[in-house]
Structure 1
Amino acid sequence: MNANDTPGLGCSGLPLIDRCAASLPDNPQCAPNYHFGMLLGVADLRAEQGFHVGRLRRHQRLLHGSGVVAGYPVRFDADDFELHVGPGYAIDALGRDLLLDSEQCVSLPKWWEKHAGDDEFDDIASAKDARFDLDVVVCYGSCLDQPVPAIAEPCAGSAADIAYARLCENAQLALLRHVDAPPAASPAPYHLLGRWLGLTAAATGSEGKPLPAEQWLNDSLAGVQALPAAEQAAARATLLREVSARAVADISPFAPAHAPDEADLCLTLARLREVHVWQDASGWQATIGSVELATRNSLLPTSLLQTLLLAEPPPATAAAGAVVVADGATLSGSDVKLVFSQKLAPASVQAAAFGASEYIDDEGWKTFTPAAPVYDESDPARPGVTLTLDRAPAGSRLRITVVGTGSTPLLGANLIPAGALHPGSDGRNLTTTIFRG
C-alpha cells in the first residue's frame, strides 16, 4: 500500500512520470481584474483558478483543521491476509482534499515481501518471521489526465504536441513503520484552551519551569478562585475570552512548512498493533493484534457540534441514599435546619450521624457539639432534621456534615446509608457550607 501498491487511484492508466508532476495553483491573494478587450492567457486562467482553490484551502486549514471528515474504515481479513481501507474524505494540513472514492486493499505478505528490505526495517532479525507496528496513512496526490492534441512551440520536440486537459486530485494510501514521535519542542496549537479544559498537561521550559503563558494562566485561575463565589462565574467568562484570544493569536495564518516530499503532511488513518508476518511450510501468513482508529484526527460536522454544545445535559443520577436538597441548609440563631431528599429512618437520626464546625479568621476551624437532633417528617416531601449547636456561630463559614459512612451512618427509610449512589453501595459523608456575613 505504498506508492504503487494499490494501482488506479482515480486517473487513467498513463505512465506516472508523465502525469504526476503538476499541481493546482494556490494563490488566494490575487485574482484577475478582467476588463473589456483583455487578452487572456494560461497565466490569467491559472490565476483565476488559484484564487478560488487557495481561498478554499485556507478556509479549510484554518477553520476546520486537518483530519478525517468521513469514512476511511480500516479492517483486516484474516482469511486472505488482506488489509482493506474503505472510501473516505479527509483534509490535510494544507487544507487539501483527500478523497478516496473506492475501497483499496493490499496483501500483507505480498507487501512485506516488497518492503522487507526498506531501511525502516533494518532492525528486523529475520524477514521470514517479523513483528512490528504499522501506521496506515493517506497522502495527497495529483495527476494529469485526458491527453489531447496541443499546439507545440517550434523547438519543443515531437512529444510536446500532446497536453493533458484535466488535473485530478487523489488520495494515496501507504503503510509506514510506526515510530513513537519525539517530544514536541513547543506546545501544540491551542494549547492554552486544552489546559483550560484540563485536556493537556502543563508545558514547561528546559529548566522545568512553567512557560510564560502557563504561568499567566495559573495566576489568572488562582485570581478567579480567590474572588467571592458570586463573582467567579463572570470572571471565568472574561478569562475564557482572554484565553481564546491568546490561543488564536499564537496561530500562524500561513500554511505550515513541510518536507519537500510532503511525507510529513500524510494523515494517519489507523495504527496496526502487533503485526506478525511469517513464512512456514504452507506459505506466507499474517496476523494483526488490533486495528486502532483512535490515532486519527477526526473532524465533526458543525451541525453535530452545535447539537452537542446546545443539548441539555443528561439528568444527574439521583442518589439512592438520602441527601440534603439544594438550599436545604438554613441557620437561625444556634439552630441548623437540614431538609432531606427522602424520609429517614428515625432511629438512625443520632448526634453521631452529624458534625458541625465553623471557620474563624485568625483562629481557624472550631467544632461544635450539637444536642440530640430532632427529626420532623410532618411534610413528607421535605423531611427535616434540626440540630441545636452548643453556641451561636461567629465564623464566616459554617460546615455541616451528614455522616453516611462508618458503623453508625444516617439511614433513609429504605435503610440505605446517606449519599449512597446505588442501593448496594456504601454511603458518603455529605458536607454543606453555610456562608455568613
Structure 2
Amino acid sequence: MSTPTAAETFIPLDDLDPATPGDPFTRLRYSYGQLLGAEDFTTEQRYFLLRSRLHNAALHGFGTVWGLKVGSQENETTLTLTCDTGLAIDPLGREVYVPQKVCLDITGLATTRFWADLAAPPPAPGVEVTGDNPRRRVYVVLRYRACLTEQVPAITQPCAGQDAGLAPSRVQDGYRLCLEAAPPDLTGLPVRDITTRVNPPADFRTRLLEHIINPDTPPPARLWSGADDAPLLLAVLDLEPVGNPVERVKLFGTIDNSVRALLPAVQTVADLALGIRLEAAGAPSPFQVGKLQSRAGEGADAARSFIDLITTRPLMPASLGPGSVRVLRFDEANQKWQPVAIAGQTPSATGLALVVDEVLQAGAPIQVCLLGTGAEAILDMGGQPLAGAIGEVVPPGTGRDACLFAIHPTTA
C-alpha cells in the first residue's frame, strides 16, 4: 500500500496573482529627469500584461490550446494520474503552461479526509442504482499559480529582521494540478456563451448583436480586480475503493477528457470552416484553372477560333478524354447555350490550347467547362484531379468541375 496522501495536497492554493489588482488602461508617461521607482516599473508591466489577458479572455475565450491529456498508470497496487505537457488559457485570460508530464499518485486517496467530500457519480440513463454506491467522482482541475523566486539582496528598513535583506527578483508563471469534489464554478467570471441564449433570432447578425450587447454579461473588470480564482476543468474520473478496510482506490471506467473547454487556434477554425488546409506561402498550389483567352483565327485558320486556358500546374495528356472539355456559345436568336465542336486540344506546360471548327462571333458570350470529376476527369502530372477554378476552396484530393465565361474575343 502506498503512503496516504494528505488531504491538503488536493486543496487549491490561494496564492495571489502579482499582476492584480492593476489597471490595463493606464500607462506611464516619461519625461526628462523623471524619478522612477519600483511601483512605476510594476505599473509598466501590469499595463501590457493585463491588456494581453483582456485580449485573450474577450477575443479568444478560455480552454485547452493543446495537450494536457489526463491519463492513468495503474497496476495491482498503485494508481497514478498523469497530465501531459500543454498550454491552456484560463477564464481570466492567463496562459497556463505545463512544461513537462505531471504524475500524481492517488493510490491512497480513499484513506484521506478528501474522500469524504466526494459524491457518487450520477447513474447512467435508464440504470437504477440500489443501495449505497461506493464509487466516487473526481474532477481534475488546472489552476494558474504565480511564484516569487530568485532572492536577491534588498535595501531594508531600519531595525528590520535578518531575513528582510532579501527580496524575490522574479515572478514565475506556474500551475497547480488539483483534484476536486465538484466541477469549477465560473459564476461571475467574464465568460460569454452564445449557446445559452434563449430563443435566439434566426438572423445570424441579430443573434450575434444580442450576444455582444447582452447587459447580463459579467463585467471585464474581474480580469484585473485581483479575484484570481479561475480554474479549468480538464477531466472527470470515477474511483472505486479496494479492500476492507479500504487500502487503496482503483479507476472505474475510463478518464473522460471530453468535458474540458477547447480553445483551438484561428488557423484550425479556418481549416474546419473551409474544409481545406490554408497553405502557407510557398506551399504547392491546388491544381486549378484560372484564365480563359479566346481569339479569332487568321489566314488558313480563318474558319476556326482558338481558346487558351491557363492552369496552375501542367495537366496529364492521357487524362484528356473526348468529354473532358466542352465549349459552348450563347445563341442570341434562340436564347440558349449551344455546344461547339472541338477540333483539337493540346496540353502545354502552362495549360490547355483548344481549337474549334467555328467562327465565334465577336462580342458573343462563350463558356468552357472542364471536368474534375467522373470518368473523364482532368488530372495533373501527379495524378491529382482538377479542383475547380482559381479562388475556389476545395478539400485536398477532391475533384471539382470548372466553368469559365468570357466575351469572345478576349485577346487581340
TM-score (norm 2): 0.52
**Alpha-carbon distance in 1 for matches of 2:50, 2:19:** 14
Is 1:278 aligned to 2:247, yes or no? Answer: no
Gaps of 5+ in 2: 124-128, 267-276, 298-303, 389-396
Q: 1:136 to 1:254 in 2, by over 3 A?
A: closer
Is 1:432 aligned to 2:400, yes or no? Answer: no
Q: Pairwise mapping of residues 90-105 of structure 1 onto structure 2 (< 5 A)?
A: 92=90, 94=92, 105=103
CA deviations over 1:138-187 (Å, ceiling 9, x no partner) = 134679999xx9999xxxxxxx99999768776332235558999x9996
CA deviations over 1:208-253 (Å, ceiling 9, x no partner) = 34445958xxxxxxxxxxxxxxxxxxxxxxxxxxxxxx99xxx999
How many residues matched? 339
Letter of the structure 1 residue corresponding to residue 254 of structure 2: I
Name the structure 2 match of 1:399: 367
Letter of the structure 1 residue corresponding to residue 343 of structure 2: V
Q: 1:400 to 1:93 in 2, by over 3 A?
A: same
Secondary structure of 1:51's aligned partner: helix
Secondary structure of 1:315's aligned partner: coil
Letter of the structure 1 residue corresponding to residue 175 of structure 2: A
Secondary structure of 1:4's aligned partner: helix
Gaps of 5+ in 1: 10-15, 39-43, 153-159, 192-200, 216-245, 301-307
Task: Kindly indicate whether the alpha-carbon contact (under 8 Å) linking 2:387 and 2:401 is maintained by their aligned counterparts in 1.
Answer: no
Task: Kindly indicate whether the alpha-carbon contact (under 8 Å) linking 2:327 and 2:366 is maintained by their aligned counterparts in 1.
Answer: no
Task: Kindly indicate whether the alpha-carbon contact (under 8 Å) linking 2:72 and 2:82 is maintained by their aligned counterparts in 1.
Answer: yes
Task: Kindly indicate whether the alpha-carbon contact (under 8 Å) linking 1:59 and 1:95 is maintained by their aligned counterparts in 2.
Answer: no
Name the structure 2 match of 1:312: 281
Task: Kindly indicate whether the alpha-carbon contact (under 8 Å) linking 2:20 and 2:224 is maintained by their aligned counterparts in 1.
Answer: no
Letter of the structure 1 residue corresponding to residue 43 of structure 2: F
**Alpha-carbon distance in 2 for matches of 1:428, 1:309:** 18
Task: Kindly indicate whether the alpha-carbon contact (under 8 Å) linking 1:357 and 1:365 is maintained by their aligned counterparts in 2.
Answer: no
- Deviation of 1:266 (Å): 2.4
Letter of the structure 2 residue corresponding to residue 327 of structure 1: K
**Alpha-carbon distance in 2 for matches of 1:90, 1:411:** 46
Name the structure 2 match of 1:370: 340
**Alpha-carbon distance in 1 for matches of 2:367, 2:138:** 55
**Alpha-carbon distance in 1 for matches of 2:7, 2:334:** 71
Q: 1:140 to 1:428 in 2, by over 3 A?
A: closer
**Alpha-carbon distance in 2 for matches of 1:120, 1:291:** 19
**Between Structure 1 and Structure 2, which shows a larger proportion of helix residues?**
1
CA deviations over 1:348-391 (Å, ceiling 9, x no partner) = 436x952525498xx997211323x2115497876533234686
Q: 1:404 to 1:133 in 2, by over 3 A?
A: farther
Q: Pairwise mapping of residues 230-241 of structure 1 onto structure 2 (< 5 A)?
A: none
Secondary structure of 1:369's aligned partner: strand
Is 1:77 aligned to 2:73, yes or no? Answer: yes
Secondary structure of 1:349's aligned partner: coil
**Alpha-carbon distance in 2 for matches of 1:359, 1:81:** 79
Is 1:335 aligned to 2:333, yes or no? Answer: no
**Alpha-carbon distance in 2 for matches of 1:206, 1:138:** 33
Is 1:354 aligned to 2:350, yes or no? Answer: no
Letter of the structure 1 residue corresponding to residue 366 of structure 2: L
- Deviation of 1:255 (Å): 3.7
- Deviation of 1:99 (Å): 7.0
**Alpha-carbon distance in 2 for matches of 1:70, 1:347:** 46
TM-score (norm 1): 0.50
Is 1:51 aligned to 2:43, yes or no? Answer: yes
Give identity over the alignment, percent: 12
**Alpha-carbon distance in 2 for matches of 1:96, 1:293:** 20
**Alpha-carbon distance in 2 for matches of 1:393, 1:410:** 31
**Alpha-carbon distance in 1 for matches of 2:119, 2:254:** 19
Q: 1:63 to 1:383 in 2, by over 3 A?
A: closer
Name the structure 2 match of 1:138: 143
**Alpha-carbon distance in 2 for matches of 1:429, 1:75:** 47
Secondary structure of 1:288's aligned partner: strand
CA deviations over 1:255-310 (Å, ceiling 9, x no partner) = 436999644x2245x335xx34223569531153465698454899xxxxxxx999
Letter of the structure 1 residue corresponding to residue 368 of structure 2: I
Is 1:128 aligned to 2:134, yes or no? Answer: yes
